[in-house]
Amino acid sequence: MYYSTLRSEKTKLFSFGWCLFGIAGAVLIPPFVLLLSDAPIGKMENEIVVAILQMLYLGQLGVVVIGATYFGQEYSDSALRTTLLAVPARLKLLCVKTIILAIVVICTGIISSILCLLIVFLENDFELTASLIKCLVVNTSLVICSWLQLAWISASLSIIIKSFAIPIAVMFSLILGLGQMLFSILEITKYTPVLVTMNLFLLPINNVFLGKATGLLIQLLWGLIFATISALLFSNRDVR
C-alpha cells in the first residue's frame, strides 16, 4: 500500500508543471549564474568552495517552489478531495509526501553542486584534490540540509494558507534581499528561516549572522513549529 502511494505521489510531483519548474530552478540556476558570472574565481580551495556555495544560495528559490507547489497543488481545483479518496489516512499521506519531497530536494542539491563544480573546473585551471572534495562535500551537505528544511517550511506554509502563491512570494522576497534589508533595520530578523543559515553559504563565516550549527537548529525549530501546525490543520480541517 505504501509503495503504491509513493509511486502515485511521485507521479503527481513530476506531472505538475510548477514542481518541474522548481526542480529545474534548483538544479540549473546555480550553475547557470556561475557560468554567466564575470567575477574571477581564485585557485585557492576556499575561493572555489565559496563560489559554489554562493550560487547554491540562489538554488533556494527552486527549493521553495518545489516544497510550496507540491503540497499546495492539493488545494487547487479541489485536488485534495480526489487524493483523500485514494489515500484516506491523512497523516500517512503527509509522511509519503515528505519522503518524496526529501528525495527530490537531496537529488537536486547533489546534481546542482556537481554541475557547479564541473563549471568551475572547466573554466579554471586547478587541481581537484582530496581536501577540496572533502571541504566541498562537508559544506554542500550542510547546504542540502538547509534546503530540506526550507522546503519543509514552504510546504507547511502552503498547507496552513491553502495556497502556494503566498509562501513563494514571502520566501522569494526574503531570499532575494528583503531579509537582509530588514536585518539592517531590525537585528532580530536574523532569526528568520532564511537568514539563520546565511553562514552556510559563506566561507569564512560572518560573525554578524548566526553560526552554522546554531542556524541549522533554529531553522529546524521553525520547520517543526510550522510542520506541527500544518499537520494538525491537515488532519482536522474539512475538505470543501
DSSP codes, 66-104: HHHHHHHGGGSTTHHHHHHHH---HHHHHHHHHHHHHHH
Backbone dihedral angles phi then psi of residue 65, each to the nearest 5 degrees: -65, -45
Using CA atoms, how far residue 41 sits from 116, 132, 200, 240, in Å, is 12, 14, 19, 54
> What is the total count of domains within the chain?
1
Q: Which residue has the cell 546542482?
A: 112
Backbone dihedral angles phi then psi of residue 127, each to the nearest 5 degrees: -90, 130
C-alpha to C-alpha distance for 103 and 91, rounded to whole angstroms: 19
Cβ-contact 222, 150 below 8 angstroms: no
Q: What is the residue range of 9's domain?
A: 2-236
Cβ-contact 158, 64 below 8 angstroms: no
Q: Which residue has the cell 503504491?
A: 4
Using CA atoms, how far residue 98 sits from 110, 160, 229, 235, in Å, is 18, 16, 15, 15
Residue closest to 59 by CA, chosen among 94, 110, 14: 110
pLDDT, one tens digit per residue, over 89-104 is 888 888 889 999 999 9
> If you write DSSP's letter for every residue of 106-147 in order, what string do you get?
HHHHHHHHHHHHHHHHHHS-----HHHHHHHHHHHHHHHHHH
- Determine which of 11-15, 122-126, 147-151 has the lowest per-residue pLDDT on average: 122-126
Residue 42 confidence class, pLDDT cut points 50, 70, 90: low
Which residues, including other chains, have CB under 8 Å from residue 158's CB and lie 6 or more apart? 67, 68, 69, 71, 72, 75, 164, 167
Using CA atoms, how far residue 231 sits from 67, 110, 122, 158, in Å, is 15, 29, 46, 12
For the chain, the average pLDDT equals 88
**Is the model's pLDDT at 123 over the cut of 90?**
no
pLDDT, one tens digit per residue, over 137-185 is 999 999 999 999 999 999 999 999 988 999 999 999 999 988 888 888 8
